[in-house]
Amino acid sequence: MNLLKKLTLGILALTISSALYAQKLTIFWAEWDPANQLQELAEMYTEETGVDVVVETTPWPDFQTKTFTEFAAKGSSFDMVVGDSQWVGAGVKGGHYVKLNDFFKEHKVAETMTAGTVAAYAEYPQGSKNYYAIPTEGDADGWAYRKDWFEDPKEMANFQKKYGYKLDVPETWAQLKDIAEFFHRPDEGRYGVTVYTGKGYDALTMGIENVIFAFGGSLGDYATYKVEGLVNSKETIAAVEYYKELYQFTPPDWGDTFFAEANQVFTQGKVAMSMNYFAFFPALTNKKVNPHVAGTGYFSNPKGPAGRFAALGGQGMSINSYISDSQKKLSYDFLAWFVKEENQRKWAEVGGFTCNKAVLESEAFLNATPFNAAFKETMFMVKDFWAIPEFADLLEPIQRNMHQYIVADQGTAKEGLDNVAREWKEILKKAGYTN
Amino acid sequence: MANINVKDMIKRFGQTEVITKLNLEIKDQEFVVLLGPSGCGKTTTLRAIAGLEDIQGGEITIDGKAVHDLPVKQRDIAFVFQLFALYPHLSAFNNIAFPLKAAGMPKSDIEKRVFAVAEFLQIKSLLKSMPSALSGGDLQRVSMARALVRDPKALLMDEPMGTLDAKLREELRTELKHLHIETNSTTVYVTHDQVEAMSMGDKIAVMNDGILQQMGNPKEVYDNPSNIFVAQFIGSPVMNVVDCNYATDGDVTHLVLGENNSDKFTLSKNLTQKLKAKNGDSKNLAVGIRAEAVDLKLEPTKGYVKVEVEVIEPLGPFDIVDVKVGDGLVRSSTRSQYVEKSCKHVWIHLNEEKIHFFDTQSGQSLNINAEA
Amino acid sequence: MAVGVHKEATNSQPGLARTGLSDLSIRNLFIIPTIAFLACMNIFPLIWSLFLSFHEWRANLPDEKAVYVGIQHYRDILNDPAFWQTFSLTAQYVLYAVVGELVVGFGVALLLNREMKAKGVITTLLLLPMMMSPAVVGLFWKLLWNPGWGIVNPIFGLANDYAWLSDANRALWAVVITDIWMWAPFVMLLSLAGLSAIPKHLYEAAEIDRASWWFTFRNITLPLVTPLLLIAIIFRTMENFKQFDMIFTMTGGGPGTSTEVHSIRLYRMAFQSWDTGKSSAFAYILLIMVIGISMIYIKYLNKIKER
Amino acid sequence: MASITFENLTKKYDDLTAVNDLNLSVNDGEFYVMLGPTGAGKTTSLRCLSGLDKDYQGSVYIGNSNVTDWSPAHRDVAMVFQQYSLYPHLTVRENLEFPLKSKIRMVPQDEIERRVNYAAATLKIVDLLDRKTDKLSGGEMQRVSIGRAIVRKPKVFLMDEPLSSLDAKLREALRIELKRLQKELGATLIYVTHDQVEAMSMADRVGIIKEGQLIQSDTPHKVYNEPKNTFVAGFVGSPKINFFDGIVENGRLTIKGSPHQFQLESEILEKIRGITGELIIGVRPEDIFLTHEAQEGACEAKVYVIEHMGMENLISFHIDPYHFKAATDSAFEVNANDKIYFRFAQEKLHFFDKNSEENLV
C-alpha cells in the first residue's frame, strides 16, 4: 500500500510539474502537406509567445478512427484537432468539441471567414449559429491539367476535327468527358483523366458529389432528412452514370484510388486531367516532384446542367473538450492569434488555404500560385456531404454501392442509388431524425 | 526359397570401410545367424542383402543371379525390422495385407492369404487391433506374418527381439525356430545375443569390425572357436582366456597360467606333443578353457592344483566359482552349493579334451583339439 | 567398519532440505496474478462486448445511454441478405486459400523432404513471406498486381491493362493467390515436421513390401502426415476466416464488395459507422462460427489420433 | 556402515501406487539385490531411501536413525545410476575429488588424495586418472561412477541398474569386481536390477519385488529352490521354469489334459502333506530327464525344437496342451519331431496352489 501511495504521488508530481514547466499545445491532424505548413505557422507563434505547438499527424485513412477512439476514451493526448468538415455533427453531439460562440463573437470569425466554410466547418446544426470550429484549411475539388498537351497545335487540330470545337479548359462536364476520351491512349501509356475511386473513407463519394450537384442531383435534404427520390433522383442517377463513363478513361487498375494516386500518375506524365483537392496541388508546383511543372495548369469544376458546384473538403480547428482549463486557455490564445488577418495572410504564405475573405480576395493571394485563382473561384461554390453525427454511417452505404456499380461493374446506377436511399432512410430513422 | 551368396563384399560409409571383403554362403532353407557386437557390420550386411544399402565392391547373388544392382523390389526378400516397422495407422490385418495390396492382388485372395498366415502364427484374434494396442510379442508375430504372407525367396531379420524382455525372448526364440522348421524358408537373422544365435541358428556367422571371424554350426563355434574373439563372444559364462607358457621338466610338461605363478598344471604327453608342433618356443600363448571344463574338487586330488576361492556366484542350476590363479581369476562352474561360502581353498584341474590354445598376437586358435 | 567421517549427519538436523518456494507461495506469487491479468485483459472485454451486442450504442458518442434492444442486432444481421453474401464470399475465400496453401505447401514440403544441399537456406528463404507483416505483404502485392508496373502481368504475358484488383471477378483470386504466397510456407513447415516425423524404417518396410512410390505415398505418407495437415488446416481456416489486414491494404474489400470478407465488413461497421452495438453482435456471430468450425476440426483430429 | 530398514513404505504418484506398504530390513554389510520387472517399484524404493523422492508414507531407517524427514545430503548415501552422470568437462581425478570438495564435508587435501588413490587402485583406473571422462569407454565410465561413490565413504551404497547399459562380457567382469569390492569395503549395498542373473550371482540376499510389494526376501539359493510363489519361480532362472496343471490323486501325478501319469515317490507325498486335487506344478528344465528309449516311469513326447547352447542342449517338447523345455547334456542329440521319453526329478518339483499360486511346501 505504501508503495502504491508513493507511486501515485510521484505520478501526480510529474504531471503537475510537466504541466507547469512546458507550455505546450498539441494539434492533431492528418498526415499531409497542410499539416507541415501549419507546423511552420505554429513555429512563428512559438517565436512570438514562447508556447510550444506541435502538430501530430496520422495517415488519412486512420484519422477519423483515431480521433474518435481518443474521444471515446475522453483522452487528452491532443488539445485541438483539425477535424474534417463532416465530423462536426459527431464531434458536437458526442460532446467532444468546445463550443466557440463567445470566441466567434469576440473575434468576429463568422464575419471574416467565407460563409460556405463557416457553415460547413464550424456550425452545427447548420443555421443554428452555434460554432465549434475555426475554419482552418479551406479545401475543395479542382483540376490539374496538362496545359502543354492542350496547347499542342497538332492535338488542337485533331480535337477540332473530331469534336467540332476548340480544345481548351472544359466549360462543361460533357466537354470534360470528350477531352478525357480524346487523350485516352492506353497504347501510348497516356490516359484521359483521373477521378477519385477509393473504397476507403469518402474518396469515391467526394468525386461523384462534384457531378451530382452540377447535374441537379442531391444527397438528400439536410433540413428535412428526406432522401428517397432525391439521392435516387433521375438527375443523381444521370450524374453517377456520367461518372462511370469518365472512369473508363482512367489509367488501368484505377479502382481504388484517392489523392495520392492521382498526383502520382499526374507527375509521371501519364494523364491529361486530374481531379484533386486543392490541398494537393502545391506539390505539383514543385519541380522535383512534378517534372511537368511548366506544362501544368489548373481549373475549377466545369458546369453542368444545373450549375457549377464543387465538393467541399477542408477542415476547421476545434478544441478537445476533455483537456484541462489551463490547456483550454492556451488553445484559445492560439486560436485568437490564428484568426487575425495578418496571421491568416502568413498562413496563406506558407501554403495554407485560408478561409479569410479579405486574404482570399487580395491580389497578392490570387497571384501567389497558379491555382489560387481557381481556388478562390471554387470556394464560393462549395457543397458538402451530410454533417450529422451519423455521417459515417451514411458514407458506408454510398461508398459500397457506388463502388459496386462504378468499379466492380455490378448492377445499374439506379439499383445502386435505390439501395443507398433505402439504407439511408433506415439509418436516419434509427437515429431518430425521421419516423 | 533360395541360396544367397555374398562374395568379397565391401561397404564403405564415406571414407570408413565398415565391411571388409565379406564372404557368406547361405544355402537354401538354412537358418543363418549373423552374430557380433554392435557396430560390427552385421546389420549393414543384412541391409545390403535386402538392397537397403548399396555396396562398394563384391557381389551379392540370390539363386545365382547377381542382385546387388537391383532395387529392393526386384529382390523378392522379406525383412523383419528391429522395431518391427509396423505401419502405425493400419490394423494388424492391413499391415499383413500391405505387401499384397501393393502388388495389386484381388481382395478375396488377400483375405485368404492373410487369414492363412494368421492362423499359422496363431494371431487370428489380433487382426483387428492397431499396432499401438499390441504387446511386444504380438507385434513381432504380426511383423513376421507381414514378412511371410507373400512367400518371399528369403526372410531377413534384424534383431527382431532386441526390444523384448528376457522371458519373452526365450519363448519367442523357440517359436521362431519351430516356425523355421515348418516353413523351411531361407533365413538370415541378425543379433548381438549369443544365446539367440546358438539356440536358433543352423549356422552362425560371427562378425567383428566388419570382418567375418568364423562361420559354422553352433557346436563348431562353441567347441572350436577359431580365435579369442569368438571364444569369448560365444558362451556364458565367458570362456577363461589366460596368458600362459609351458616348461618341460624331464618327462613332465607343466603349463603355467599367468605371471608370477607357481601353480603348475601337468600336461599329457599327447597334448604336449601337439602343442610343441604348433608352437615351438612357447611364446605369445594363451590358454582358453570354458568354466564347465574346469573341474573342481574340495579335497586335494592328484593332478589338481590348489587355488584360493575368490567369489561364488550362484546362478540357480549351478554355481560359478571364481578362483585365483596367479594374478587373474579362473571361473569354474559347479553344482549348486558344491562350494560353500566358508570354503577358502579348492583344487582345480583343466579338462584337456576341452582346452584351447591361442596365439595372443594374432588371436587365432592353434586348433589343438579340433584335429584330434 | 565405521570410520567416523560422518560428522555432518546427526539426528539433530532433520528436514533442512526444504528450502525455496513452496507450491502455495508459487501459486500466490505467479498463478493468481496471471489469472487476474487474463481476466482483465481477455474476459472482461468478452463480457462487455456481449453486453453491448444486446444494446444500441455508439462508441463515438460515449455519453449517450446504451439502449437495450434484445436480440434485435442478431436478428437484423442474420436476416440481412448482405450478411449471407459476405458469408459466402468469406467461405469461398477461405476454401480457395486453404486448399491452395495445402496443395502448394505440402507439395513443396514433399520436394524438400530429402537429403539435399542448402536445404536449410532454401527452407529459410521459403519461410520469409510468412514472417512479414500481412499489411506489408498486402501493400507489396498491391504493387505486384498493378498492371502498369507490377511483375505479375509481364510474367504471365498479360496485357498492361489486364487489371486484377480493380476487376470484380479477378480481385478475389489475386487476394487468394497472395494469401497462398504468404501462408503456403506455414503449411510447408508443418508438413515438413510431419514428414520428417515419419520413421524412415516405415519407408524401408514399404520398399521391402514392394510398394510403388504412389502406393507408399497414399498409404503411408498421407495418413501419417494427416494429423499435422489437419492442424495446419485448422490454423489456416481460422486465420483466413479472420483475415483482415492483407485484404484491407490490397483492395479495401473492393471492387464493390467483391473482396469484402467478414472482418472488413465488421471493421467498417465498428470503426467507420461506429455502430458499436451491432458490430459487437456481428463479432459474436463470427466468434461462434470460428469456434464451431474449429470444434468440427478438432473432433475429426481426435478421431484420427485415436487410431 | 549401517543397516537399513523400510517400515510400511508407500509411495504414490497421483493414482499410481509405485511402492505399496514395503517392509524390508537390510543388514549391516550386506549385499542386497532388489529384483523385479520394470515398473515394480524397485527404483522408487531406492529413491525414497536416498531422499530423492519425498512425500512418501512410512519410515526409513539408516542405522538407528529415523531419516524419514532428512534431506538427501544428510542421509549420507551414495548412488550409482545406470547413466554414469559424470561431469564430462572434468578429468577422472577431478570427478573423483568432486564429492569431497563440497563445503560441508571439509575433507583435508591429503585425505582427498589418499581416498582418490585408494578408489582408483581398487577399481583399476589409476592410469585413467588424468583423462577427460568423455574419452572413456562405458565400462570405464561406470568404474569412475562407482569410484565417485567409494571416495565419500558413505554409510550405504545404492546402485540402480549400474551394469545394464554395458555389453555381456563386461557385465560379467564388473559383476565379480563389484561383489569383491563390496566385501572388501564391508559396505552395505542395495542393488536394483531386473536381471535375475545379476541378482543371483551377486546377492547375499535377493528381494523380489512385484507391483510395489516385496514377495520374497531370501538367499539366491533359496529363492531358486524354494520360490514363494509362481511369480518368483518364473522370474528366477533361465531357461524359465515349466509350469503345468497337475492333479495329485492316490499318490499319482497326472498332467491335466493328457494321459501322462507319474507315480509319486513317498518322500514327495510326505512333503506335500497329503494335499490332493488340482495344483500348479513347476519343474525346472534341468530337472527333466530325457532318454531316447522307453524307460520305467517315463512318458513319451514329441520333440518340438532343439537349441544348441554349447554347454547344454535345450529341448522343447510338446505334450498336449503344454510345452516343456528340458536342459540336457550337450551330447544329447535329437531332431525335431523325434520321439523321446521324459521323467521329472521328483524331489525338485514345485507345488503351487491353483488359486493363490503360493508354494504349498
Q: Which of D124, D167, D176, D200 to mutate to test the interface with B (most CBs of B within 10 A)?
A: D176
CB pairs under 8 A between C and D: 41
Distance CA C210, CA B99 (A): 6
**In chain A, which among 162-201 make CB contacts under 8 A with chain C?**
186, 198-201
Q: Which of C163, C164, C274 sits opposite A68 (nearest CB)?
A: C274
Distance CA D154, CA A143 (A): 98
Secondary structure, 3-state, A48-69: HHCCEEEEEEECHHHHHHHHHH
Contact between D237 and B317 using a beta-carbon 8 Å cutoff: yes
Looking at every residue in chain A, the average pLDDT score rounds to: 89
CA A150 to chain centre: 28
pLDDT score for D260: 86
The pTM of this model reads 0.75
pLDDT at C7 exceeding the cut of 70: no
For C59, the domain range is 17-68
Which residues make Cβ contacts (< 8 Å) with residue C70, sequence separation at least 6?
Answer: C54
Task: Categorise residue D208: left if φ over 0, alpha if ψ from -120 to 50, beta otherwise.
Answer: beta
**Measured between beta carbons, which residues in chain C are less than 8 angstroms from residue D72?**
17
Contact between B198 and D309 using a beta-carbon 8 Å cutoff: yes
Residue C31 distance to chain D (closest CA, Å): 22
Query: Which is higher by pLDDT, A234 or C120?
Result: A234
Distance CA B259, CA D156 (A): 37
pLDDT at C126 exceeding the cut of 50: yes
Torsion of CA A214, A216, A222, A224, to 10 degrees: 170
Strands of the sheet containing A191-194, edge to edge, are A191-194, A271-277, A141-146, A296-299
Residue with cell 463550443: A99
Query: Which is higher by pLDDT, A3 or C220?
Result: C220
**Measured between beta carbons, which residues in chain B are less than 8 angstroms from residue D167?**
37-38, 192
Residue with cell 570362456: B239
A1 pLDDT band, cuts 50/70/90, is very low
Contact between B98 and C219 using a beta-carbon 8 Å cutoff: yes
The torsion angles phi and psi of B273, rounded to 5 degrees, stand at -60, -50
C300 pLDDT band, cuts 50/70/90, is confident
Strands of the sheet containing B4-13, edge to edge, are B16-26, B4-13, B57-62, B65-66
pLDDT score for C18: 44
pLDDT at D315 exceeding the cut of 70: yes
Which region among A29-43, A277-291, B72-86, C147-161 has the lowest average model confidence (pLDDT)? C147-161
Max distance between CA atoms of chain A, in angstroms, equals 90
**Measured between beta carbons, which residues in chain C are less than 8 angstroms from residue A388?**
none
The answer to whether C107 touches C193, Cβ cutoff 8 Å, is no
Q: Which of B194, B199, B232 sits opposite D314 (nearest CB)?
A: B199
* Integer Rg of chain B from CA: 25
Residue with cell 475539388: A141
* Integer Rg of chain D from CA: 25
ipTM, two decimals, is: 0.72
Instruction: For C16-83, give the DSSP string.
Output: TT--S--HHHHIIIIIHHHHHHHIIIIIHHHHHHHHHTTEE--TTSTTSPPEE-TTHHHHHHHH-HHH
**Measured between beta carbons, which residues in chain D are less than 8 angstroms from residue B315?**
197, 200-201
Which whole number is the average pLDDT over B7-22? 92
pLDDT score for C8: 38
Distance CA A123, CA A109 (A): 12
Q: Is residue C8 assigned to a domain? A: no
The cell numbers describing C227, all together, are: 494429423
In tens, the pLDDT along A189-211 reads 899 999 999 887 788 999 999 99
Residue A404 forms contact with C (CB below 8 Å):
yes
**CATH architecture, domain defined by A23-139+313-383:** 3-Layer(aba) Sandwich (3.40)
pLDDT score for A119: 86
Helices and strands counted in chain B (H then E): 9, 20
Shared domain check, C262 and C157? yes
Shared domain check, C106 and C36? no
DSSP assignment letter at B206? E
Which region among A2-11, B217-226, D29-38, D70-79 has the lowest average model confidence (pLDDT)? A2-11
**Measured between beta carbons, which residues in chain B are less than 8 angstroms from residue D239?**
170
Shared domain check, C149 and C42? no
A10 pLDDT band, cuts 50/70/90, is low
Residues in chain B: 372
CATH number at residue C104: 1.10.3720.10
pLDDT score for C14: 41
Strands (E), D212-298: 213-218, 242-249, 252-255, 261-263, 277-283, 288-291
The cell numbers describing A320, all together, are: 478537445
Neighbours of chain C (3+ CB pairs under 8 A): A, B, D
Contact between D70 and C15 using a beta-carbon 8 Å cutoff: yes
| Bond from prior residue into B237 cis (ω within 30 degrees of 0) | yes
Q: Which CATH class is domain B240-359?
A: mainly beta
The answer to whether A145 touches A139, Cβ cutoff 8 Å, is no
In tens, the pLDDT along A211-233 reads 999 999 999 998 899 999 999 99
Which region among A331-345, B3-17, B148-162, B279-293 has the lowest average model confidence (pLDDT)? B279-293
Residue with cell 510398394: C211
Domain boundaries along the sequence of chain A: 23-139+313-383, 140-311+387-430
| Bond from prior residue into C255 cis (ω within 30 degrees of 0) | yes
How much of chain D, in percent, has pLDDT values that exceed 90?
A: 45
Contact between C201 and B81 using a beta-carbon 8 Å cutoff: yes
pLDDT at C187 exceeding the cut of 60: yes
Q: Which fold, B4-233?
A: Rossmann fold (3.40.50)
pLDDT at C17 exceeding the cut of 50: no
**Measured between beta carbons, which residues in chain C are less than 8 angstroms from residue A200?**
252
Which whole number is the average pLDDT over B21-36? 95
Q: Which of B38, B198, B322 to mutate to test the interface with D (most CBs of D within 10 A)?
A: B198
Which whole number is the average pLDDT over D62-69? 89
What is the three-class DSSP state of B41? Answer: coil
Which region among A1-5, B166-170, B269-273 has the lowest average model confidence (pLDDT)? A1-5
Q: Is residue C205 assigned to a domain? A: yes
Residue C145 forms contact with A (CB below 8 Å):
yes
Shared domain check, C181 and C60? no
End-to-end CA distance of chain D: 37
Instruction: For C112-160, give the DSSP string.
Output: HSS--TTHHHHHHHHHHHHHS-HHHHHHHHHHHH-TTT-SHHHHTT--T
Residue with cell 571361473: B331
Shared domain check, C183 and C159? yes
pLDDT at C148 exceeding the cut of 80: no
In tens, the pLDDT along A157-170 reads 999 999 999 999 99
Which region among A187-191, A300-304, D96-100, D233-237 has the lowest average model confidence (pLDDT)? D96-100
Distance CA C109, CA C187 (A): 8
Q: Which of B47, B72, B98, B110 to mutate to test the interface with C (most CBs of C within 10 A)?
A: B98
DSSP assignment letter at D350? E
Distance CA B24, CA C117 (A): 37
What is the three-class DSSP state of B371? Answer: coil
Residue C23 forms contact with D (CB below 8 Å):
no
Shared domain check, C167 and C45? no
How much of chain B, in percent, has pLDDT values that exceed 90?
A: 61
Residue D325 forms contact with B (CB below 8 Å):
yes
pLDDT score for B254: 86
C75 pLDDT band, cuts 50/70/90, is very high
Which region among B66-75, B355-364, D76-85, D287-296 has the lowest average model confidence (pLDDT)? D76-85
pLDDT score for C3: 38
Neighbours of chain D (3+ CB pairs under 8 A): B, C
Residue C24 forms contact with D (CB below 8 Å):
no
Shared domain check, C133 and C95? yes
Q: Which of D29, D69, D72 sits opposite C1 (nearest CB)?
A: D29
Contact between D169 and B233 using a beta-carbon 8 Å cutoff: yes
Looking at every residue in chain B, the average pLDDT score rounds to: 90
Contact between B72 and C210 using a beta-carbon 8 Å cutoff: yes
Q: Which of D28, D53, D62, D70 to mutate to test the interface with C (most CBs of C within 10 A)?
A: D70
- Choose among C228, C209, C229: nearest CA to C219: C209
CA triple D186-D188-D192, angle to 5 deg: 130
Within 13 Å of residue B57, how many CA atoms lie on the same side as its CB? 12
End-to-end CA distance of chain B: 37
pLDDT at D308 exceeding the cut of 50: yes
The cell numbers describing A281, all together, are: 496541388
**Measured between beta carbons, which residues in chain C are less than 8 angstroms from residue B51?**
207
The torsion angles phi and psi of A125, rounded to 5 degrees, stand at -65, 160
Distance CA C129, CA C182 (A): 5
Which whole number is the average pLDDT over B345-364? 92
The residue type of B167 is: K
Is the domain defined by A140-311+387-430 classed in CATH 3.40.190.10? yes
In tens, the pLDDT along C202-219 reads 998 898 888 889 999 999
Shared domain check, C215 and C275? yes
Q: What are the contacts of D171-179 at 24+ separation with CB within 8 A?
A: D171/D198, D172/B236, D172/B237, D172/B238, D173/B238, D173/D139, D174/D139, D174/D142, D174/D143, D175/B313, D175/D201, D175/D202, D176/B310, D176/B311, D176/B313, D176/B322, D176/B329, D177/D123, D178/D146, D178/D202, D179/B311, D179/B313, D179/D31
CATH 2.40.50.140 residue ranges in chain B? 240-359
Max distance between CA atoms of chain C, in angstroms, equals 100
Q: Is residue C236 assigned to a domain? A: yes
In tens, the pLDDT along B155-175 reads 999 998 887 888 888 888 998
Shared domain check, C45 and C150? no
Of all residues in chain C, the one with the smallest CA distance to D107 is: C5
pLDDT score for A4: 53
Q: Is residue C59 assigned to a domain? A: yes
Which whole number is the average pLDDT over A6-25? 59
| Bond from prior residue into A125 cis (ω within 30 degrees of 0) | yes
CA D245 to chain centre: 27
Q: Which of A74, A97, A403 to mutate to test the interface with C (most CBs of C within 10 A)?
A: A403
- Enumerate the H helices of chain B as residue ranges: 42-50, 92-102, 107-121, 136-148, 166-183, 194-200, 218-223, 228-233, 269-278
The answer to whether D337 touches D302, Cβ cutoff 8 Å, is yes
Q: Which of C205, C212, C220 sits opposite B81 (nearest CB)?
A: C205
Which residues make Cβ contacts (< 8 Å) with residue B20, sequence separation at least 6?
Answer: B10, B209, B210, B211
CA triple D162-D164-D168, angle to 5 deg: 120
Task: Categorise residue A356: left if φ over 0, alpha if ψ from -120 to 50, beta otherwise.
Answer: beta
Which whole number is the average pLDDT over A227-246? 94
Total domains, chain C? 2
Which whole number is the average pLDDT over A377-390? 84
Q: Is A140-311+387-430 the same fold as A23-139+313-383?
A: yes
A416 pLDDT band, cuts 50/70/90, is very high
